[in-house]
Amino acid sequence: MNILRCKVALLLVALSILSHAQSMHDRWFYVSRSLENDKDIEELFPLVETASRSGLNGMLLSCGVENYADWSPKRKAHLQALRRHCDSHGIEIIPIIWSIGYGTMLGKNPNLCAGMPISDVPYLVKGKEATVMAQEAPTVPNGDFELHDGNVFPFQGWIDRPGVVSFADTEIYYGGTCSIRLENFASDPIGGHGRICFKASLRPNTIYRLSCQVRMEDFSENSPYAFRLQFYGGEEPRMLSFVAPNVDTQGGWTNVSMVFPSGDLSEGNLYVGVWEGKSGKVWIDDLKLEIAGVNEVLRRPGTPFVVRNAVTGQVYEEGKDYEPIPPLKRFLGDDDAFAESLVLKLTDHSAIRDGDRLAVSYYRPVRNGWQRTTCMSEPMLYDLLEKSAHEIAEALHPRKWFLSMDEIRAGGTCAACMARNTDMAHILADCITRQCQFIREVCPEAEIYIWSDMLDPAHNAHDNYYRCKGTFAGVWNLIPKDLIIACWYNGRKAMPFFSGLGFRTFGAAYYDADNLDGSRDWLQICRQTPGCRGIMYTSWQNKYQLLGPFGEMIRTAE
Digitized pLDDT (tens) for each residue of the chain, 558 residues in all: 455 554 544 444 343 444 457 789 999 999 999 999 999 999 999 999 999 999 999 999 999 999 999 999 999 999 999 999 999 999 999 999 999 999 999 999 999 999 999 999 999 999 999 999 988 888 898 999 999 999 999 988 899 999 999 999 999 999 999 999 999 999 988 899 999 999 999 999 999 999 999 999 999 888 888 999 999 998 778 889 999 998 887 779 999 999 999 999 999 999 999 999 999 999 999 999 999 889 899 999 999 999 999 999 999 999 999 999 999 999 988 777 677 899 999 999 999 999 999 999 999 999 888 899 999 999 999 999 999 999 999 999 999 999 999 999 999 999 999 999 999 999 999 999 999 999 999 999 999 999 999 999 999 999 999 999 999 999 999 999 999 999 999 999 999 999 999 999 999 998 899 999 999 999 999 999 999 999 999 999 999 999 999 999 999 988
Residue 227 CA to residue 281 CA, distance in Å, equals 11
* Sequence letter at residue 531: G
End-to-end CA distance of the chain: 33
Q: H or E segment at 272?
A: strand 267-274
Which residue type is seen at 86?
A: C
**Integer Cα distance of 267 and 206 in angstroms:** 12
Give the CA angle between residues 231, 251, 168 to the nearest 5°.
65
Q: What is the 3-state secondary structure (H, E, C) of 65-97?
A: HHHHHHCCHHHHHHHHHHHHHHHHCCCEEEEEE
Contact 362, 297 (CB under 8 A): yes
Torsion angle defined by CA atoms of residues 237, 114, 136 and 227, in that order, rounded to the nearest 10 degrees: 60
Which residues are bridge partners to 78 per DSSP?
Answer: none
Give the up-direction half-sphere exposure of residue 35: CA atoms within 13 A in the CB hemisphere.
Answer: 23
Q: How far is the C-alpha of 465 from the C-alpha of 338, rounded, in Å?
A: 29
The pLDDT value given to residue 369: 82
Residue type, 316: Y
The confidence score (pLDDT) of residue 108 equals 96
What is the third-level CATH fold of 22-109+370-408+425-488+499-557? TIM Barrel (3.20.20)
Torsion 234-237-238-243 (CA) sign: positive
Residues 157-291, CATH architecture:
Sandwich (2.60)
Domain range 115-135+295-368, CATH architecture: Sandwich (2.60)
Whether the CB-CB separation of 209 and 257 falls below 8 Å is answered with yes
pLDDT at 4: 54
Query: Which part of the chain is CATH 2.60.120.260?
Result: 157-291
CA pair distance 531, 487, nearest whole angstrom: 13
Q: What is the pLDDT at residue 30?
A: 98
Whole-number Cα distances in Å, 265 to 61, 198, 269, 413: 40, 15, 11, 13
What local confidence, expressed as pLDDT, does residue 10 receive?
44
Q: What is the pLDDT of residue 14?
A: 42
Considering only CA atoms, which of 98, 99, 62, 117 is closest in space to residue 371? 99
Q: What is the pLDDT of residue 195?
A: 96
The per-residue pLDDT for 2 is: 54
Question: Are 201 and 283 a contacting pair, CB within 8 Å?
Answer: no
- With b for 16 or more beta-carbon neighbours within 10 A and e for fewer, the 338-374 pattern comes to eeeebebebbeebebeeebebbbebbbbbbbeebbbb
- In this prediction the pTM is 0.91
Q: At a CB cut-off of 8 Å and minimum separation 6, what does 3 contact? A: none
Q: Report the distance separating Cα 224 and Cα 481, nearest Å.
A: 39
The pLDDT score that the predictor gives to residue 16 is 42
Q: What CA–CA distance (Å, rounded) separates 177 from 18?
A: 71
Contact 551, 51 (CB under 8 A): yes
Quote the pLDDT of residue 416: 97
**Rounded Cα gap, residues 252 and 232, in angstroms:** 29
